[in-house]
Amino acid sequence: MKKSLFGFVLFGALGTLLFAQTQPKVQIGEALSGKEAKEMLQNFPKEVKSAIKIPQKQTKVVKGARGGTYPYNNDVVPPFNPSTDSLVALKDSAGNVILYITYTTDKPFAEVGNILAIDSSRLDSPKDYAVQKWNPDKKELYTEYVNARTYYNGGRNATDKYPEWGMPYSNSFGMWIKLGGYFSEAISLFNRNEIYKQDDPAWEYQYFNFELLPSGLLSVTTKYSDYSTERIITTKPIPLNKWVYIQAIEKVLDYQIGWKAEDGSDEELVQKTFGNQTIKFSKDVSYQRYFSADDLMRYLENDETRFYINAKELFYNPIVGMFELMSNYNAKEKLIYSTGGQVTYGINTLIQESYIVLTGGTSSILTLQDIDIYYDPQTLNILLIDWRVNRQGAGQ
């Protein structure tokens, strides 16, 4: 059955792509699925007009290209599934098929890039943070040098005369984020939650828990006494379908949450000073504080959610001020930092950018290595571009 592919009006009328004056006009045909799409693949002519050849480098076919008899015998891995996959033809101005593009029917989009990777190794070295410790026998302070993890996992009470472990109540975390929609549950973007380790079983409570709420608002929740919690929350949801810079800061009793849209369309900064009763605990026990973005990573890696949340340039370092790294990620050392980060694009954008790259142009969002290409090994004609969510290159 024929289906209309939402959002396929690109540039000009009738689905015609007008890239550069030096490139020919191309058109996107109607999206096909089911039996009709499968038959179209099986009957695809081996000799096509307006063919695009597979790019070669020193006689070696570019990495990411896969040759074979596909689509004639449908032996691509994973195989084309008429019940879940759709097909659309890219045609020249005369209506001749240049190649086909396949995508997942209910997800007309795909990701480009590598999965976000988080590095927290700098928390554990070197030992160049000075802390004052109390010697009860000599009844005097002495200096010890510790690593960042120990320093920021400091004493229980920020109001103690001699806090034993440095600066536990200082935190600053931020990143760029792009949402395709709001989620039904809150996502913990980063937390310093604590585990009380002397109970059996151990228990945990929120401490600098930076969350994205189902409403699109941002919040930080912390426990400030044995039985009470406090929260700071933004008043406006972060916008959808655009990059937004978000950051949360704690300086003992002073909290801030800020965000700015990359395009300058909107922003917000909220601040709150918790009351004097904040951070008072009756128990003198051993706690362990996390430095955790595990919940965020689950959403970035899950097949059902990762297309709707993108993140990049994640950082943690308590000395970083609000929006300080927004335009210069490397301006200051980061105790936790990230590399990579996949970005979701609609299928129409991916078709456009793929065509530009395959015809020798340059794309700002992808390279040849991002495109799964299937070609005829005899003619080197490109037959199909695969943008399905389970394509061979997905998530690599």
Residues 232 and 322 in one domain: yes
Q: Is it the case that residue 8 has pLDDT exceeding 50? A: no
Of 33-47, 137-151, 285-299, give the lowest mean pLDDT range. Answer: 33-47
Query: Is 187 within 8 Å of 296 (Cβ atoms)?
Result: yes
List 289's β-bridge partners, or say none.
194
Looking up residue 230, the CATH number of its domain turns out to be 2.60.120
Dist. CA 109–CA 313, nearest whole Å = 23
Residues 6 and 35 in one domain: yes
Q: Which two tokens stand for residue 162?
A: 């001699």
Residues 173 and 55 in one domain: no
Domain assignment present for 21: yes
Dist. CA 317–CA 315, nearest whole Å = 7
Dist. CA 90–CA 28, nearest whole Å = 5
Q: Which residues contact 55 (CB under 8 A, 6 or more apart)?
A: 61, 62, 65, 358, 368
Of the candidates 292, 276, 317, 82, the residue with the CA atom closest to the CA atom of residue 188: 292
Of 142-156, 174-188, 362-376, give the lowest mean pLDDT range. Answer: 142-156
Residues 8 and 48 in one domain: yes
Residues 245 and 279 in one domain: yes
Helix (H) or strand (E) holding 350: helix 347-358
Query: Is 188 within 8 Å of 295 (Cβ atoms)?
Result: yes
The residue segments making up the domain with residue 41 are 2-111+345-386
Q: Which two tokens stand for residue 210?
A: 């930076």
Domain assignment present for 378: yes
Residues 271 and 373 in one domain: no
Domain assignment present for 321: yes
Residues 328 and 216 in one domain: yes
Q: Which residues of 62-74 are buried (b: 16+ CB within 10 A; e: fewer)?
A: eeebbeeebbeee
Residues 290 and 179 in one domain: yes
Segment 254-270 shows an average pLDDT of: 98
Q: Which two tokens stand for residue 99?
A: 């190649």
The model's pLDDT over 191-223, given as tens digits with 9 standing for 90+, comes to: 988 776 655 555 667 789 999 999 999 999 987
Segment 228-235 shows an average pLDDT of: 90
Residues 220 and 361 in one domain: no
- The backbone torsions φ and ψ at residue 181, rounded to the nearest 5 degrees and listed phi first, read 180, 170
Answer yes or no: pTM beyond 0.95.
no
Residues 179 and 266 in one domain: yes
Q: Tell the residue number behind the tokens 């040849």, with chain if given.
A: 368
Domain assignment present for 261: yes
Q: Is it the case that residue 71 has pLDDT exceeding 60? A: no
- The more confidently predicted of residues 247 and 43 is 247
Write down the pLDDT at residue 134: 72
Residues 67 and 183 in one domain: no
Domain assignment present for 90: yes
Domain assignment present for 163: no
The model's pLDDT over 266-286, given as tens digits with 9 standing for 90+, comes to: 999 999 998 765 555 555 555
Domains contained in the chain, number: 2
Domain assignment present for 18: yes
Dist. CA 177–CA 182, nearest whole Å = 12
Q: Is it the case that residue 70 has pLDDT exceeding 70? A: no
Write down the pLDDT at residue 46: 58
